[in-house]
């Protein structure tokens, strides 16, 4: 299941994102979307978790959590 993570602090790294989701199951891939001109984070990214149950648990637990001063939003990617 591919998850969309929004409202990330611009300082959040891909490694921090992977660690956050790995606590809830297997992470297949983790991608932070970067601005091509500045090289800085755009504040959102995608995490793929192969097991649907683990992905749903991650959504339920992490959606609305405060991470580095930002309340993140986690949902299934459309």
pLDDT tens digits, one per residue of 67-78: 999 999 999 998
Give 20-69 pLDDT, tens digit per residue: 999 999 999 999 999 999 999 999 999 999 999 999 999 999 999 999 99
pLDDT, position 78: 87
Residues 6+ apart with CB under 8 A from 69: 9
| CB neighbour class for 20 (10 Å; exposed up to 12, middle 13-18, buried from 19) | buried
Q: In angstroms, rounded to a whole number, what is the distance separating the alpha carbons of residues 70 and 66?
A: 5
- pLDDT at residue number 27: 97
- In CATH, the number for domain 2-64 is 3.30.70.330
Q: What integer is the mean pLDDT of 1-30?
A: 96
């Amino acid at each position: 299941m591919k998850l969309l993570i929004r409202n990330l602090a611009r300082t959040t790294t891909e490694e921090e994102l992977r660690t956050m989701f790995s606590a809830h199951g297997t992470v297949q891939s983790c991608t932070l979307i970067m601005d091509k001109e500045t090289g800085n984070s755009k504040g959102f990214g995608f995490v793929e978790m192969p097991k649907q149950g683990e992905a749903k648990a991650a959504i339920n637990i992490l959606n609305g959590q405060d991470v580095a001063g930002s309340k993140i939003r986690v949902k299934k990617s459309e």
